[in-house]
Structure 1
Amino acid sequence: MAGTEEQVHGAQAPAAGDAADEFAVRDPATGEVIAHCPDLGPEAVAAMARRGREVQPAWEALGFAGRGRILRRMQKWVIDHREEIIAVIRSETGKTYEDALIAEISYGAAAFGFWAANAEGYLADEKVRSSAVLVKGKKLLVRYRPLGLIGVIGPWNYPFTNSFGDCIPALAAGNSVILKPSEVTPLTSLKLAEGLRECGVPDGVFQVATGQGPTGAALVEQVDMIMFTGSTATGKKIMAEAAKTLTPVSLELGGKDPMIVLADADVDRAANTALYYGMFNGGQTCISVERVYVEEPIYDAFVAKVTEKARKLRQGAGGPGTADVGAMTFPPQVDIVERHVQDARDKGARVLVGGSRGDHAAGSWYEPTILVDVDHTMTCMTEETFGPTLPIMKVRDEEEAIRLANDSPYGLAASVFGKDVKHAEAVARRVEAGAVCVNDALVNYSALELPMGGAKASGLGSRHGAGGIRKYTQQQAILVTRFAMRKDPHMYPYSARMTKRLGRLFAFLYGRGARD
């Protein structure tokens, strides 16, 4: 697709009364326009919502087994069409081939199979036992029923994994879904929508609403729940709008993810991991390594190894095995990276590798960049850079490292490196983040059984595990009285005798606690 312009018709057509506006999609590696998509307005989104609600009951009625069969078909479809999907992903994101294969295809294919296999277990009725005397002998259970219509607003950095990927558990739970992908990267969602149709998802159960900011705002007004991934500032706006209708939200927002390298760490392991997960996907990953704190005894060795390896990185847009780091997806993000690096320079930091946009005729590029002599007066250490930079700071000891790691409004992910694994885990438990890896980074996201969510300003709710699908449902408590008298002893009319008996009973049950 790269280098050719297409008219995209996979999105919902504008409804009557909506202007049939369009927006351009560009290849970030070249800057060329590769497609145009409809910029849908409120009426078109409302029409999609009505359609989604109409067909949702039938989709729910298929049951977990019926929906699971379709999701497993889609898992195979993704693998069978992986080269086509990778080509689309790369054309609108600028990723390397391997970044698309490892982080998008691998995750997406696994997710279809995972939710097909596990949705029923996570959402099965749960029997409850109670110590309450008034419910003795009664059946108590909790059930999870689909909310109905889910709106997903996705980011541009991972159009399959973090945009379309959020739709998979929502569909598995029995909901209809409207996905509003980023206007920067809508083509992947449209390609995957083709696959869902081919695999048997009924029309209207999954719809793609292409458009810009107002399209997302219109979606918030129409759905029963919103899943949003993006900036903290936009997440706050969405939450404020959703609050007007008490629409539940789940938010994965910004991160400034720290790595702590303890004095006993395997320097090679730590250096390789820091560089890979700092530069992976051009650093445009919410849980990438954004800042590194290294204890003084191994600081010089760590910096030397990272620098040596970074100088060998290949940046480009070639085929498999030819490039390590690709283009940046969103042109304004390159400006942010450039500002952060310049701010660090102005305040005394040194650039050991990279530090510029590089020598490219066109497109959105920034070189893999290693920064040292950094501190928390610099935006590269305190604000989300979201680019191929790795600032490394020397610290006296682990206490300083922990303090600085926690000196952030964000708390999405973190990592700790040390050969004494028990001690490193103890350090990890003190870091204020939703996920912490020991002697690793980022790969926790591939464990779909493990919750992934942010602390502090990094979001609300989580992906994956039981919470990752239950958030798309309404929890309902059910009590069933199977063997009932005509009137329970505590019912009207009250009598002094019965009241006295109840008082004695409650005293017997609850009055035997610990005494001071």
Structure 2
Amino acid sequence: MTLDHAAIAGQPDGSDLDNRRITVRCPADGQVVGEVEALGADEVAVVCDQLRAAQPAWEALGPRGRSAHLLRWLDWLLDNERRLLTLVQRETGKSWADASLEMSVAVDVINYFTSNAETFLQDRNVKPAGPANAVRRLRVQARPYPLVGLITPWNGPLAGPMMDVVGALVAGAAVVSKPSEVTPLTWREVVRGWREEIGAPPVLAAVTGGGATGQAVVDTVDMVMFTGSVRTGRAIAVRCAQRLIPCSLELGGKDAMIVLADADLERAAKAAVWGAMTNSGQACISVERVYVESPVYDRFVELVTDQVAALRQGTDAPGSYTTDIGAMVTGAQLDIVADHVADAVANGARVLTGGQRAEGNCFQPTVLVDVDHSMRCMREETFGPTLPIMRVADEDEAIALANDSEYGLSSSLWTSDRARADRLSRRIEAGSVSVNNALVATFQLPIPMGGWKSSGMGARFGGAHGVLKYCRQQSVVEEKFSLKSEPLWYPVVPAKSRFMSRAVRFLGAHDWRRKLGLRGRD
């Protein structure tokens, strides 16, 4: 996937994409869900000009004034929850349980950042350094980037953009958002709610389209927040470097789960199934590989296989909660999952349950054993409902294999020994480690979610960082006293200059010989 020719958030599959229109179809049954326009660079530029014009007044509202609009937006989201989640489900093929999680993310993120916005954005008073600066007041104030570009993928049409847009809006930035052309309908409607239903200032817009639309966003904004593939993330990083603007990238993952012999196996097995299968495995933080110490390997595999075999798959009726996982969003992703399983089997792996395509663009929840790092399912991001499990001799082998990856987004570590968990967590090469749980570190808003290695650059959330990343730091130096002149100002007076030189030496040196100029003046 390249910045110039492919969709920044994923090429549509089963959709009709021409120069102007994109038809969105439900992956579960192929029915048309809706249609959006593919905007060109000139149209994106017009939208961005309008956002820039509205941004200064938005910034002037202050964090409390901006938060009030975000809380009204939250009210509107909750008032329209059933309709919005039905739209999520129709354009993604998710189960209702997976779709409903997206609203939970929106609620948590809006409440957290609006509750803390004033604290996060308050000016920071700084103590001056050195006697000569004692007559000055120093402070650092946060000023938003005027226009932030937000580009998101197809796996979370509501939750994905919401994780980032709130921090940018609270910071005082205007935001142009580009949802995936595969699943643009929910976010377009959510942005319409902001612009037309709650009376919020026109500082948020959604532009729809493919790769050209995304490229226009990157070429126009002052800062980019991108979630998506490693390949596209690299292309965006290069373009941002050329434009000398910052970017934050949350890219792919191949998250490892390490289960040690002293772990609570029943809990670990349940977490492995949920961590690997939620959203049909279509999450960057999915559990994609498991390393289990040999003494408990067989029991762990048995527990996992029984639970995976019992999962109910399909797109259930809105509000029914009658299936566990739904469809794959795109046919292209379904092909990748099938290829990974076929490659593993061809190289000696065994399928204990699942392993086949299913009706409605689904892939059966799958457990693979006898796997190793020669197989694609252990090296490449699968992004599907598979769970390969590998036997290891000890913790050292588990850590070595977990780190044997170009990715480093998230991970989990399972042991009943707290000291051991602390020690081993410091050896894992990933941006987060969940101890005796799966995925949870990702959604702890006070701490950062960031990828190491090819999994990204920068981080989302992280308390104040989740807002300040959208800001420029501005230093302000204020004089306590208004003097007619400064000692260093012209004209140069020899006696004054010699006195200042002696004063610098006396105040800055650390021994009396140097303070008095008895050494080091030549």
What is the TM-score when the length of structure 2 is the normalising length?
Answer: 0.91
Of residues 495, 502, 509 in structure 2, which corresponds to 1:500?
Answer: 502
Deviations 1:110-146 (A, max 9, x none): 2112221112211110111243333223211111011
Q: Is the 8 A contact 1:263 1:418 kept in 2?
A: yes
1:276 and 1:83 mapped to 2: Cα distance? 24
**What is the aligned partner in structure 1 of residue 355 from structure 2?**
355
| Identity over aligned pairs, percent | 48
Q: Is the 8 A contact 2:128 2:137 kept in 1?
A: no
Tell me the SS of whatever aligns to 1:235: helix
Alignment of 1:208-227 (within 5 A): 208-227=206-225
Tell me the CA shift for residue 497 of structure 1.
3.8
State the Cα RMSD in Å. 1.7
**What is the aligned partner in structure 2 of residue 206 from structure 1?**
204
Tell me the CA shift for residue 66 of structure 1.
1.4
My pick for the range that moved more, 230-239 or 468-477, is: 468-477
**What is the aligned partner in structure 1 of residue 5 from structure 2?**
none
**What is the aligned partner in structure 1 of residue 376 from structure 2?**
379
Tell me the CA shift for residue 501 of structure 1.
3.0
**What is the aligned partner in structure 2 of residue 450 from structure 1?**
447
Deviations 1:369-398 (A, max 9, x none): 000000110111111100000000000000
Instruction: Name the amino acid aligned to 1:119.
Output: A
Tell me the SS of whatever aligns to 2:312: coil
Work out whether 1:263 is the aligned partner of 2:265: no
Instruction: Name the amino acid aligned to 1:23.
Output: I
My pick for the range that moved more, 393-402 or 452-461, is: 452-461
Instruction: Name the amino acid aligned to 1:323.
Output: T
Alignment of 1:169-184 (within 5 A): 169-184=167-182
2:164 and 2:83 mapped to 1: Cα distance? 21
Q: Is the 8 A contact 1:154 1:164 kept in 2?
A: no
1:38 and 1:162 mapped to 2: Cα distance? 21
Alignment of 1:392-403 (within 5 A): 392-403=389-400
1:456 and 1:194 mapped to 2: Cα distance? 37
1:132 and 1:344 mapped to 2: Cα distance? 65
Q: Is the 8 A contact 1:260 1:416 kept in 2?
A: yes
Tell me the SS of whatever aligns to 1:244: helix
Provide structure 2 residue ranges, at least 5 long, that are not aligned to the other structure. Answer: 1-17, 516-522
**What is the aligned partner in structure 1 of residue 340 from structure 2?**
340
2:132 and 2:363 mapped to 1: Cα distance? 67
**What is the aligned partner in structure 1 of residue 163 from structure 2?**
165
Tell me the CA shift for residue 174 of structure 1.
1.0
Work out whether 1:424 is the aligned partner of 2:426: no
Work out whether 1:368 is the aligned partner of 2:370: no
Q: Is the 8 A contact 1:410 1:458 kept in 2?
A: yes
1:509 and 1:434 mapped to 2: Cα distance? 46
2:440 and 2:194 mapped to 1: Cα distance? 27
Tell me the CA shift for residue 489 of structure 1.
4.1
Tell me the CA shift for residue 230 of structure 1.
0.1
* Residues 1:342 and 1:241: Cα distance change in structure 2 (over 3 Å): same
Q: Is the 8 A contact 2:432 2:442 kept in 1?
A: no
Instruction: Name the amino acid aligned to 2:247.
Output: V
Of residues 409, 414, 433 in structure 2, which corresponds to 1:412?
Answer: 409
2:148 and 2:420 mapped to 1: Cα distance? 43
Deviations 1:268-294 (A, max 9, x none): 010000001100000011111010000
Tell me the CA shift for residue 194 of structure 1.
2.5
Q: Is the 8 A contact 2:128 2:136 kept in 1?
A: no
Q: Is the 8 A contact 2:149 2:224 kept in 1?
A: yes
**What is the aligned partner in structure 1 of residue 120 from structure 2?**
122
Instruction: Name the amino acid aligned to 2:43.
Output: A
Deviations 1:462-481 (A, max 9, x none): 11122111111111111111
1:211 and 1:240 mapped to 2: Cα distance? 22
Provide structure 1 residue ranges, at least 5 long, that are not aligned to the other structure. Answer: 1-18
**What is the aligned partner in structure 1 of residue 13 from structure 2?**
none
Deviations 1:297-332 (A, max 9, x none): 100000000001111001011132210110011221
Alignment of 1:208-247 (within 5 A): 208-247=206-245
Tell me the CA shift for residue 488 of structure 1.
4.0
Q: Is the 8 A contact 1:150 1:170 kept in 2?
A: yes
